[in-house]
Amino acid sequence: MSNKIKIPFNKPFIAGKELLYIAQAVTENHHTAGDGPFTKKCQAWLEERLGCRKVLLTHSCTAALEMSAILAGVRPGDEIIMPSYTFVSTASSFVLRGGVPVFIDIRPDTLNMNEQLIESAITSRTKVIVPVHYAGVSCEMDMIMDIARRHNLFVIEDAAQGIMSTYKGRQLGSIGHLGACSFHETKNIISGEGGALLVNDEKFVERAEIIREKGTNRSSFFRGQVEKYTWVDIGSSYLPSDIIAAFLYAQMENTDQIIAQRNLIYSLYMEILRPLAEKGYIQLPFTHTDCRSNGHIFYIITRSLKERMALAQFLREQGILALFHYVPLHSSPAGKLYGRTTGTLEVTRKVSDCLLRLPLYHEMKEKDVRSVAGNIKKFYKCSD
Ligand SMILES: *Cc1c(COP(=O)(O)O)cnc(C)c1O
């Protein structure tokens, strides 16, 4: 494969003022440690736009998930229900506390955890349900929250991919007890590495601040609420430098434009590829009418592993980079060691074999989208 990539899979978007704000943090604010002016601006922005009780910036979504596991009081042997078709941190954050991931299958339409399978996976050790909003498309949150209420469980939303997506008008990450989002370079809104813990239940706010500050009451101390700054609980260093927050704030100011542009590309893919889906060659993404998505990932599902490999190879020969996604966690070495599976996970296996993610980035031109989609049609010898 010596030919050059003409259409990459992703190109991180730079809004324009990132370096200006970093310079401001360094030379004007003289605050490069955590919780400086830019961190406060980002947190206020997220609290307002997402409608969360409290937002705390973290250095990654993984950090926010680790904090959630501590806040939910996960202890060795406690079970955490989650999909197997997800990123490692969804599970590893709970395993760090001795939790046991219990992997359930996903829905064939949204590729999110199949809410119908949750109740049969619940045991006396179950503590948390972790809905992962794959590709920025919402899980069935009403049903998940209802099950959690009836069984007295916590819901921690892995909204790493969900920024600005909604479920029945509510922002993803703002519905469960806690939520985690990511600003990793591969996501929609970025700061290289970055994330946020979304606290929706008042009772977690104070302890969340303590856990994020190495287990100290530093935050209350700076607000003048306590006289001494001291070690009071377990915790770690989960806060990002204000330099990272400065970068992130420049992105936040452009959020609406970033999401609109991604959704435009997404819709164009949908429109051009629809005939292939109608003919039964591929499956296209599905978003329920109650939900609004953020155009995070555009994928197609082929009929077999062999067909996906051949299609990816065909696109690569045209200079187009399309990628598959997760190795299901239940089939990974650590997933087998630390987790448990319920059911056959048939859909997970199929999707892991057959899903192909297409290029999608802010600078992508209409002609590039047409070229990718056109080549897929060519592969299937479809002339519509
Ligand atoms: C990206 C991602 C994460 C991890 O985010 P980081 O900010 O890199 O820690 C976790 N879960 C899901 C579903 C993700 O897509």
pLDDT digits (tens, 9 = 90+) for 366-376: 999 999 999 99
Q: Report the residue among 88, 113, 182 best suited for mutation to probe ligand 1: largest number of ligand atoms under 8 A from its CB.
A: 182
- CATH 3.90.1150.10 range(s) for the chain read 255-379
Average pLDDT for residues 183-204, to the nearest whole number?
Answer: 98
Residue 383 has a pLDDT of 81
Q: What is the pTM of this model?
A: 0.97
Distance (Å) from CA 225 to ligand 1 centroid:
34
Alpha helices, H only, 72-153: 88-95, 118-121, 141-151
The answer to whether residues 174 and 231 touch, using CB atoms and an 8 Å cutoff, is: no
Residue 237 has a pLDDT of 98
- CA 96 to chain centroid: 20
The Cα 127–Cα 300 span in angstroms is: 34
Structure tokens that stand for 281 in this block: 């060659």
- CATH 3.40.640.10 range(s) for the chain read 18-252
For residue 187, give the ligand 1 atom closest to its CA: 1
Separation of first and last alpha carbons in the chain: 30
Q: Report the residue among 157, 183, 184 best suited for mutation to probe ligand 1: largest number of ligand atoms under 8 A from its CB.
A: 184
Q: What is the pLDDT of residues 313-361, one digit of tens each?
A: 999 999 999 999 999 999 999 999 999 999 999 999 999 999 999 999 9
Give the residues surrounding ligand 1 with Cβ less than 6 Å away: 60-62, 86-87, 89-90, 132, 158, 160-161, 182, 184, 195
CATH class of 18-252: alpha beta
The Cα 15–Cα 172 span in angstroms is: 23
The Cα 256–Cα 45 span in angstroms is: 13
The answer to whether residues 68 and 160 touch, using CB atoms and an 8 Å cutoff, is: no
Distance (Å) from CA 87 to ligand 1 centroid:
6
Residue 220 has a pLDDT of 87
Q: Report the residue among 10, 59, 60, 61 best suited for mutation to probe ligand 1: largest number of ligand atoms under 8 A from its CB.
A: 61
Average pLDDT for residues 170-176, to the nearest whole number?
Answer: 98
The Cα 181–Cα 132 span in angstroms is: 11
Residue 52 has a pLDDT of 96
The Cα 272–Cα 276 span in angstroms is: 9
For residue 195, give the ligand 1 atom closest to its CA: 7
The Cα 320–Cα 326 span in angstroms is: 20
Q: Which residue's C-alpha comes closest to atom 2 of ligand 1?
A: 160
For residue 62, give the ligand 1 atom closest to its CA: 9
Distance (Å) from CA 180 to ligand 1 centroid:
9
Residue 1 has a pLDDT of 52
Residue ranges with strand state E in 64-131: 79-83, 100-104, 126-129
Q: What is the pLDDT of residues 197-224, one digit of tens each?
A: 999 999 999 999 999 999 999 888 888 8
CATH class of 255-379: alpha beta
